Amino acid sequence: MTDTQAKPTLEMQRNRAEQQAHPDLGKWRNEAEQQALKTVDKDAIAAIEQTMKAIESIAAGKTDDALKAIEEATGKLNVVLARNPELALIPVSVEAQIIDTAPRDIDDIEKLADAVDAAILVDDFPTARALLGGLRSELCVRTYHLPLAIYPTALQEAARLLDKDSEAAAIALLAALNALVTVDQVTPLSLLIAQEAINQAHTLAQNDKNAAQKVLETAEFELNRAMALGYAGQDPEYKALKDDISNLKKQLKGSEDTTSAFSKLKARLSSFLKRESDRRASSTNDQPSKKAA
């Protein structure tokens, strides 16, 4: 084993420390990835694998094997098209990651945001982009899609070129692989943490109302942090959520039954989380990718 293999990478060390600091992060990432994996299409994955096999066969001078692989890929896509005639993009691969580079303190976030504004004001976009990278605190699920409007045509073109110009055929197949489309579904970590805090407060409210109030303060802070980081920061739903939390804290000081209030708050936040993730997913569906399954 080499020294490089023996030593954990900086990324591995960071991920380990992150999971120890907040065990839920790893759970959330795994759950999101497993849920997204349920959407991938095995026939579309097989089409990509056969495309790669065709490219390898062309490189080895085995055009007959390449043609067979292209035909198998085309057959798999015909199955996909028959099963999903209304879809333009078919999921073939998924990866989920936690990106948490933003400061915890809201004042520090605002200072960083001001620095971004200052950089944009003088058209210093490289600096602005670098600074924006420090304002991310999110669970990102990236799904790679096969574009049904492009991929089958590329396979047909490669098959046509194969006998005349195998190099051009290989280029056509590579172009198909490079046409995979990425869609990022982003969920703010602060909203997930707020959701977890509200769940904990609901449990605590049965026996320790003071502790429940303290945990609800954590939820309030996380909502404010999500706003400061620009995760739909102007959405009026934030005010409604914070109003619900404020009312709950008042109820916890008395003898009222808070079951209904907690249920309302959890439902509102769950709906907001879904809407926010869906909105961000749809905004990135035109990005080309070079990743294959």
pLDDT digits (tens), the chain, 293 positions: 444 344 445 545 444 444 444 557 888 888 999 999 999 999 999 999 999 999 999 999 999 999 999 999 999 999 999 998 888 999 999 999 999 999 999 999 999 999 999 999 999 999 999 999 999 999 999 999 999 988 999 999 999 999 889 999 999 999 999 989 999 999 999 999 999 999 999 999 988 999 999 999 999 999 999 999 999 989 999 999 999 999 999 999 888 889 999 999 999 999 999 888 887 665 444 443 434 44
pTM exceeds 0.85: no
Residue 236 falls inside a structural domain: yes
Give the number of domains in the chain: 3
Residue 254 falls inside a structural domain: yes
Helices (H), the chain: 3-6, 10-21, 23-37, 42-59, 63-83, 106-121, 125-132, 151-161, 166-178, 189-204, 209-228, 237-253, 259-282
- Same-domain status, 165 and 56: yes
CA-to-CA distance for 170 and 121, rounded, in angstroms? 46
CA-to-CA distance for 174 and 132, rounded, in angstroms? 33
Residue 183 falls inside a structural domain: no
- Same-domain status, 59 and 167: yes
Residues 6+ apart with CB under 8 A from 237: 268, 272
Which residue spans within 27-132 are E strands per DSSP? 89-100
Residue 219 falls inside a structural domain: yes
Tokens of 47: 């089409």
284: part of which helix (H) or strand (E)? none
- Same-domain status, 95 and 109: no
Residue 284 falls inside a structural domain: no
Domain that holds residue 172: 11-101+139-178
- Same-domain status, 161 and 34: yes
- Same-domain status, 115 and 93: no
CA-to-CA distance for 74 and 101, rounded, in angstroms? 43
Q: Which of 250, 268, 134 is nearest to 194 (CA)?
A: 268
* pLDDT computed for residue 7 by the predictor: 41
- Same-domain status, 126 and 148: no
- Same-domain status, 59 and 144: yes
The 89-100 sheet, strands edge to edge: 89-100, 137-147, 180-188, 287-289
CA-to-CA distance for 28 and 273, rounded, in angstroms? 13
- Same-domain status, 196 and 157: no
- Same-domain status, 131 and 108: yes
Residue 27 falls inside a structural domain: yes
CA-to-CA distance for 197 and 215, rounded, in angstroms? 6
Tokens of 29: 């990432």
Q: Which of 179, 171, 172, 168 is nearest to 155 (CA)?
A: 172
CA-to-CA distance for 39 and 224, rounded, in angstroms? 33
CA-to-CA distance for 223 and 219, rounded, in angstroms? 6
CA-to-CA distance for 18 and 25, rounded, in angstroms? 8
- Same-domain status, 63 and 87: yes
Residue 164 falls inside a structural domain: yes
CATH assignment of the domain containing 73: 1.20.120.1940
- Same-domain status, 33 and 147: yes
